Amino acid sequence: MKDLPAQPRDLDGNPVTPRAPMAMLAEVTHRCPLACPYCSNPVELTRAGNELSPADWARVFREAAELGVLQVHISGGEPGARRDLAEIVAGAREAGLYVNLITSGIGITRARLEELDRAGVEHVQLSLQGIRPDMADRISGHPGSWDKKMAFADWVTEIGFPLTVNAVVHRQNMERLSEMIDLSERLGARRIEVATVQFHGWADLNRAALMPTREQAAFARQVVNDARLRLRGRMVIDYVPADHHAIYPKACMGGWGSTGLNVTPDGTVLPCHAAQSIKGMAFETVRERSLAEIWSLSDSFNAFRGTAWMPEPCQTCERKTVDFGGCRCQAMALAGDARATDPVCSKSPLHEQVVARAEADAASPTEALIYRRMTKGG
C-alpha cells in the first residue's frame, strides 16, 4: 500500500481544498436480474465473493456521516440481490444517514419490502425501462419484468414509502415519454427522474441502437416542460437531457470530489461511478484506509478538484465554476484525455466531430442490443 500525500494537490501539484461531501452512492452488489444495455456499472463487474460485508458497510456509513455525508443511495446492481440488504440498510440508519433505495423492483418480495421498511429505508426509487411489457422486458432483457415492477410499485405505495420513478430514455423509447410520466402519476410517485442514457461503459457499446435523434431530444424537452406545468404541486419532474445535443456540458458530479462519492461492491472508492474508465487513475479501498483519508488525500479525488488543472478553453471560460469543464469520463471516452474540455461542449475543438458522430449513430437503423452480462464464471 502506497503512502498518501500529506497535502491535497491536483494532478498538476496545485494545492486544493477538499470540502465535506453531501451524498454517497453505495453500490452494494453488481449482481442484477436485469441486463439493461446502458447499465452504469463498469464493463468489468465485481463478483459476489468480493462484496463488502454488512459490518464493513456499517463502518463505511459511520465514517461517511462523520465526514459530512447526509444521504446514502443504496444501489447496485440490484441491491435486493443481497440477502443481507436489511442489515446494510440498518447500518446506514444507525449512522444517521437518510436512506434512499434504488431498485429495479425485481427480486424483492412484499415481505422483504416490509423488512426494509423496518430497517429504515426512507425513500424508494424504482427503475422503469419502458412502458408496457413489450418495451420494458426487451430493454431489461428480463421477461416478466414489467408485471413484477407494477406489483412492486403498488407495495411501495401501500407501505407508504415516497416513490420516485427513474425512467431512462433513449431512441427506442423516447416517443413514449409522456406515457411514462402518466404512468408514474398513476402509480402515486412524488417524483419522476427522466434521464437520457449517458453514453459510458455498457451504453457506449450500444450507441448506434440507443442514441436519440436531435428531434427526439427537442421533443423530450417539450414533453417535460408541458408536464411540469400540468403537474405543478403533484409530481416533480427532474430531467437529464441528451448532452450530445447541448451547447454546454453537464456539471459532472457538481464538481469532481466536491459533493459526492461512490463506493463499489468491493469497497473501492470512486469520485464518480464511471471513474474507473479513466486510464492510469488509481483508486483506494475502504478495506485499507478510512473514507476520510481517501476523500481528503487520495490522488483520484484530488486530481480534478478546484479549477487550476483546467486547460483552455475552460481556464478562461466564465462557466468554469458552473459546469467544471463537464464530465471527466466523457472527456476520456471522446477526447482520449480525462483533463480535456468535455467534447460535448460547443467550445471544445472536438465538438463538431462529436455531434457528427452522435448524428450518425442516431441515424443508424440498428435496434440490436448488447446486454449487460457478467463474463463467464460470474
Binding region for other proteins (CB under 8 A): 20, 22-23, 66-68, 70-71, 73, 98, 100, 122-123, 125, 160-162, 164, 190-191, 232-236
Q: Whole-number minimum distance, CB 190 to other proteins, in Å?
A: 4
From its phi and psi, is residue 188 left (phi > 0), alpha (psi between -120 and 50) or beta? left
Closer CB to other proteins, 191 or 320, in the complex: 191
Residue 266 burial by Cβ neighbours in a 10 Å radius (0-12, 13-18, 19+)? middle
Q: By C-beta, is 182 or 337 nearer to other proteins?
A: 182
Least Å distance between CB 165 and other proteins?
A: 12
Task: Identify which of residues 89 and 334 has a Cβ nearer to other proteins in the complex.
Answer: 89
Extract the C-alpha cell encoding 77. 446492481
Closest approach of other proteins to the CB of residue 20, in Å:
6
Q: Which three cell numbers stand for residue 121?
A: 429505508
The sheet with strand 236-240 has its strands ordered as 236-240, 191-196, 163-169, 123-128, 98-103, 71-75, 23-27, 260-263, 269-270
- For residue 128, the SS3 value is strand
**Nearer residue to other proteins within complex by CB, 126 or 317:** 126
**Residue 60 burial by CB count (10 A; 0-12/13-18/19+): exposed, middle or buried?**
buried
14 vs 71, beta carbon nearer other proteins: 71
Least distance from C-beta 160 to other proteins, angstroms?
Answer: 5
Query: By the 8 A CB rule, do 212 and 169 touch?
Result: yes
Which amino acid is residue 144, in one-letter code? G
In the complex with other proteins, the residue whose CB is nearer, 232 or 287, is 232
CB of residue 166 to other proteins, shortest distance in Å: 10
Are 102 and 74 in contact by the 8 Å Cβ rule? The answer is yes
Least gap, CB of 259 to other proteins (angstroms): 10
CB of 233 to other proteins, least distance (A): 4
SS3 178: helix
- Of 179 and 185, CB closest to other proteins: 185
CA-atom Rg of the chain in angstroms: 20
